[in-house]
Structure 1
Amino acid sequence: MSQDPSQPWHTAYPTPKSQAATLPRQEVLGWLRGEKVVGRDFLLIDVRRDDFEGGTIHGSLNLPAQSFYTTMSTLYALVKSSGVKTVVFYCGSCCGRGPRAAGWFADYLNDKEDFSLQSVILEGGIKGWVKAGSEYTALIDGFDASVWKQ
Structure 2
Amino acid sequence: MTTESKFPTLEFIKSEQLREIIQTKEVGKDYLIIDVRDDDYVGGNIPNCINKPSATIKDSLDSLISDYSHVPQIIFTCGLSRGRGPNSAKTYQDGILSKKNNTSQKIQVLSGEICLQ
TM-score scaled by length of structure 1: 0.68
User: How many matched pairs?
Assistant: 110
> Is residue 95 of structure 2 the alignment partner of residue 108 of structure 1?
yes
Aligned position for 2:105: 117
What is the alpha-carbon distance in structure 2 between the residues aligned to residue 88 and residue 110 of structure 1? Answer: 17
1:54-133 to 2 correspondence within 5 Å?
54-80=43-69, 83-114=70-101, 115-124=103-112, 128-130=113-115
Bigger share in helix: 1
Q: Displacement of 1:18 after TM fit?
A: 7.1
Which amino acid in structure 1 is aligned with residue 53 of structure 2?
Answer: P
Structure 2: 5+ residue stretches without partners? 1-6
CA contact (8 A) 2:37 2:53 kept: yes
What is the alpha-carbon distance in structure 2 between the residues aligned to residue 19 and residue 94 of structure 1? Answer: 15
Tell me the secondary structure at the aligned position of residue 28 of structure 2.
coil
Give the counterpart of 2:40 among 43, 47, 51: 51
Q: Displacement of 1:117 after TM fit?
A: 1.3
Which 4+ residue blocks in structure 1 deviate beyond 4 angstroms?
A: none
Aligned position for 2:18: 28
**In percent, how many aligned pairs have the same letter?**
28
Q: Which has the higher contact order (CA 8 A, sep 6+)?
A: 2
Structure 1: 5+ residue stretches without partners? 1-16, 131-135, 138-150
